[in-house]
Amino acid sequence: MIDLVKKHPLASLLSLVLHLILIGFFIFSTSFNEPGSSIVPPVPIVKATVIDDSKIKAEAEKLKNQALEKKQQEKKRLDDLKNKRLAEENKLAELKKEQALEQQKLEQHKAEQAASAAKLKKQQAIDEKKKADATKQLLIAKEKAAKEKAIKEKAAEENRAKAQAIKEKAAKEKLAKEKAAKEKAAKALAAKEQAARERALNQLAEQEEQEMRAQEAVASYSGLIRQKVERNWLQPPGDITGLSCTVRVRLIPGGDVIDVQVIKSSGNTYFDRSVELATRKASPLPLPNDPAMFNYFRTLDFYFRPGG
Amino acid sequence: MKTTIKVVLMYALVHASAAWSEALKIEITQGISSAQPIAIVPFSSTQVVTGVAVDVAQIISDDLVRSGRFKSLSRFDMLDKPFTSEQVNFRNWQALGQDNLVIGEITEQANGMLEVQFQLFDVYKGEQLMGFSLPANKAGLRSAAHRISDLIYEKLTGQKGAFSTRMAYVTSTKSPNGKHEYKIQVADADGYGAKTIVTSSEPLMSPAWSPRGDKISYVSFEAGRSSIYTQTLRTGAREKLQSFKGINGAPAWSPDGSQMALTLSKDGSADIYVYNVISRSFRRLTFSYAIDTEPNWAPDGRTIIFTSDRGGKPQIYRIAASGGQATRVTFEGDYNARASHSPDGKNIVMVHRVNGQYRVATLELKTGFTNILSDGQLDESPSYAPNGSMILYSTNDSFKSILAAVSSDGKVRQKLRLQGGEVREPAWSPFK
């Protein structure tokens, strides 16, 4: 019993408190059933006042009745008490019996409780163990997960890093490439521009040269044309000093004159006609062999100014 | 930058080419002063024109050539001989270097009159410049030809043609019996159709046309001494001017025909006088002790030029027609005589002695520039054509005096072969 208490102090204490409460109930329930009797003897009432003989007599009678009644009541009260005590004893025995039973039950319950507790404890231990195990497992798992996660993360990180590195490398390469390309492009552009410039310069030079050649050709052929027209210009007789006439002459390749128009008349019909005739008669006019040069000679303005 | 260059280049190129294509300007300061080539195709006669032996095309050709302004294509060189415009192939004439082409046709009308049609073409332009149809009788065909020459000449030179004008000249023949015969004749400008207006056994000299061309004044020695006669051509009537002792010579009509300048020696030396046709009065113009002769009126009638040896040698002087101080005109050479004005009054033509040779020369009054036109040894009596294009003069050919014509620029000279003996003192008529 002590071991048990020792073993289950909380349960034991609880049990004790419950018992005490039960006992308390028994005690208090009795007192409550007989208010102001047996435990406290009735106190005589003293009255000093005599009112009259009849009254005293009635009184005395009354007292006498009362005393008798009282004796009866007392006797009844005692009997009741006796009965009550007996019932009470019975009840108590029964209660004792019940109590024992209860005790037995309680003990049994206690045992059961202990067993249950043990079982519970055991279960608890198991549970705890389980829990611990689970925790441990969890921990392990967690750890593992963490580890894995870490690994994963690490891997991911590594991957990321790697990717980043690759990316960066790629970016770098790309950048480098771009830079190179840019540089190359810039270089190419510069070269191109330089080439273009050179080409432009060359072209310019070539054009200048061409232009110069063209101008030379123009100049020399202008001279030939002039000579041929002069050879064909029959100056009108008489005084022609101060007269001048400009004609616009259109040529076709080959130098044939196809149209002559007086664009600035001398005011002298015959002078004008001599001029027009000279240009028509001089047809075909000498032209450079190069057909490209023809554009220079497509339209000619002849300014006839005798005597210079 | 690049674009800019390109743009500038293109701009420059475009403009350069534009500039070139628009304005390659060639200045022509020299030309040739040769005659204009003209082809005159023989005029076709589809019908036999009886009694006419006139080659109209040839007359035109001779006229134009004589002017010195034209050279006519020989008929033998013609590739074809069209007489209608449809038949003309301009390329042929261009190939022959002809500037101008004349074609024509003569048809006889029912009434016996002739119709002379002609067309003048610009060969290089390939277009007609002129086309006319002239009526003519058979006797007047030569005149029609000269008329066509005038039209062509005026169309191509801008100057009035003088082919329908005439000339007067003096001929002298010496018969086998030793007698001289002098004549004044009037002929067409080409020398054809000569008609004698006066004949004399004594010398005839100095024929001078009235301004309207209806009269000729001349000097005749028929009365034993010199006298001035004025003869109306149409009627043959002549009028003797009052003559004085000594020289009565060198008549010259004023441009308006109201006066005549002449040489008289009635007051001693030969001097220039002006005869008023209306009042029949004489006015002395020069008062020198030297010989003043051969007067000629300026076209404006204000001044008269004459020959004077007042400076020792014959030179040309000028004096106002109203009188006054004479001024010397010629300074080049030691002999300048027989001067007359060109129709425009800008030049005078005269006999100019150079290296002992007497030549026809012109003097530009403004500049004093002398231009020798003839190349004979004894060239005399120059006379301007009324259009100023030519000068008639007499020259010696095989010891015989003949007439010659020279273009006023001296480029073309031609001798006129006339029938008869010596021909002198030509005088070109004014325009009709």
pLDDT in tens, B284-315: 999 989 999 999 999 999 999 999 999 999 99
If you write DSSP's letter for every residue of B8-40 in order, what string do you get? HHHHHHHHHHHHHHHHEEEEE---B-PPEEEEE
Question: Which of A29-33, B16-20, B176-180, B208-212 is most confident?
Answer: B208-212
Domain-located, residue A108 = yes
Over residues B357-404, the pLDDT tens digits come to 999 999 999 999 999 999 988 999 999 999 998 999 999 887 788 999
| A136 lies in the same domain as A242 | no
pLDDT at B48: 55
A245 and A121 share a domain?
Answer: no
Asked whether residue A9 falls in the same domain as residue A133, the answer is yes
In this predicted model, what pLDDT tens digit does every residue of B124-140 receive, in sequence order? 999 999 999 999 988 88
Q: Which CATH number fits domain B36-157: 2.20.25.240, 3.40.50.10070, 1.20.120.10, 3.40.1280.10?
A: 3.40.50.10070
Q: How confident is the model at residue A108 (pLDDT cuts 50, 70, 90)?
A: confident
Provide the domain limits for residue A295: 233-304
* Phi, psi angle pair for B347, to nearest 5°: -125, 160
Backbone dihedral region of A28: left (phi > 0), alpha (psi from -120 to 50 degrees) or beta?
alpha
A141, A156, A179 - which closes a domain: A141
Give the C-alpha distances (Å, rounded to integers) separating B403 from B39, B172, B360, B395: 27, 13, 13, 6
Q: What is the CATH number of domain B166-428?
A: 2.120.10.30
Cβ <8 Å between B29 and A204: no
CA B77 to each of CA B81, B270, B404, B431: distance values in angstroms, whole numbers, following the listed order:
10, 57, 28, 35
Q: Specify the pLDDT at position B8.
A: 46
How does residue A131 score in pLDDT terms, banded at 50, 70 and 90? Answer: confident
Nearest CA in chain A to B5: A200
Residue ending a domain, among A141, A169, A202, is: A141
Whether B17 has a pLDDT exceeding 50, the answer reads no
- Residue that wins the pLDDT comparison between B63 and A29: B63
Q: Which of A99, A119, A141 is where one domain is finished?
A: A141
DSSP one-letter code for B274: E
Contact A238 B30 (CB under 8 A): no
Is pLDDT of B45 > 90? no
Q: What is the CATH number of the domain that holds A244?
A: 3.30.1150.10
Is A201 among the domain residues? no
Q: Does A171 fall in a domain?
A: no
pLDDT band at B247 (very low <50, low <70, confident <90, very high): very high
Is A228 among the domain residues?
no
CB contact under 8 A, A230 and B28: yes
Pick the residue from chain B with its C-alpha nearest to A229.
Answer: B28
Count how many Cα atoms sit within 13 Å of the Cα of residue B262 in the half-sphere of its side chain.
Answer: 32
Of B387, B404, B373, B186, the residue nearest B299 (C-alpha): B387
Q: Do A280 and B32 touch (CB under 8 A)?
A: no
Collect all residues of chain B within an 8 Å Cβ-Cβ radius of residue A203: 9
For residues A282 and A171, the model is more confident at A282
Q: What pLDDT, on a 0 to 100 scale, did the predictor assign at position A56?
A: 66
Tell me what the pLDDT averaged over chain B comes to. Answer: 89
Say if CB B218 and CB B208 are below 8 A apart: yes
Map out the domains of chain B as residue ranges: 36-157, 166-428
Query: Using 50, 70 and 90 to split pLDDT, how confident is the model at A170?
Result: confident
Looking at residue B77, what DSSP letter applies? G
User: pLDDT averaged over chain A?
Assistant: 79
How many domains, chain A?
2
By the CB < 8 Å criterion, does B13 face chain A? yes
Which chain A residues contact residue B407 at CB under 8 A? 237
